Amino acid sequence: MKPRALKPGDRIAVVSPASPFSREAFEKGVGELRTLGYVPVYHDSVFDRALGGMTSGPAELRAAAFVRAWSDPSIAALIAVRGGHGSVHMLPHLEGWDPRQNPKLFIGYSDNTSILAWLTTQCGITALHGPMLDGRLARGTDGYDRTSFSRLIQGSGAGLVMAPEGLSVVSDGEASGPLHGGTLTLLAASMGTPYAFAPPDGSVLFLEDVNERPYKIDRLLMQLRLAGVVGRARAIVFGEMRGCDEPGGELKLRDLLPELLEDFEGPVLFGFPSGHTTGPCWSLPFGVRVTVKTSPAPSVAIEESPVE
């Protein structure tokens, strides 16, 4: 299911499913939404804190705010303030609520992978792995790629070919399929739960993380392999994997991937700047068809819009 495309003047609900944030970053982020032509709205509970300050309020309060914003017909989309910790706590509090009754576009990454994966692989609603307020929209175009963000939320993403600088080829090939994924740690942690990451056969996987040493990435990938997720994929696109080399540079994750994925038959790219990036965060649509190519240059082509 595809939410409707956004247009200038639309109201975007700012929600905080995970960790708290600074008020300065919040104000700068909502200011950028206004610059883009949207009307940011939020409930005061977005500023609450719980679990010793680890989360933005109790899980039931965050879930209620999420449902309230989603159910409001005057709101066109929801965007997370930041990641951090705690979004998975919301999922049991969403039981019995069906977001398909009124599909909206949800935008986020990092810890919000829990929600992205639930919406896309279990509810069948497209979503955007894209910039949040804190550290991204709050920094203007230094924090996010405005072209991919704007085109994908406004319905002009079909035909967008993304070949960002630094994207490299781990394994040659070409493949198409619906794009799913997010932060590897969160995807692996979902296995064995009622909210397990469950992309369909023939998917393209986008996997990214930050500050995880190579042996941990190996363990997380193995968990997805044993769960059958990797075997169902036609292609894999890794993020920048910032901070995922061995301290001191003795072992680089990029150099290890050919061995970790030696029996994977599809194309594999490395270095796509979405999620935890060193530069601007590019947006990727989850739940829609993309094509991964390694020649003549590595790229990810968006075949259909995530909104309509």
Tell me if 146 sits within 8 A of 136, measured CB to CB: no
Q: Helices (H), strands (E): how many in the chain?
A: 7, 14
Torsion (CA) 42, 47, 53, 56 in degrees, nearest 10: -20
Measured distance CA(62)–CA(55) in Å, rounded: 9
Q: What contacts 193, CB < 8 A, 6 or more positions away?
A: none
Q: Which of 16, 56, 87, 110 is catalytic?
A: 110
Kindly report the number of other CB atoms within 10 A of residue 173's CB atom: 17
* Position 20, amino acid: P
Say if residues 187 and 121 touch (Cβ distance below 8 Å).
no
Catalytic residue among 32, 208, 212, 240: 208
Q: Is 165 a catalytic residue?
A: no
In degrees, to the nearest 5, what angle opens at C-alpha 138 toward C-alphas 135 and 143?
60
Strands (E) in 111-155, as ranges, are 127-129
- CA-based max dimension of the chain: 53
Show the tokens assigned to 193. 């739960």
Distance, in Å, from the CA atom of 149 to the CA atom of 77, rounded to the nearest integer, reads: 13
Catalytic status, residue 208: yes
Interatomic CA distance for residues 242 and 278, integer angstroms: 7
Q: Catalytic pick from 89, 129, 180, 276?
A: 276
Query: Is residue 203 among the annotated active site residues?
Result: no
Catalytic residues: 110, 208, 276
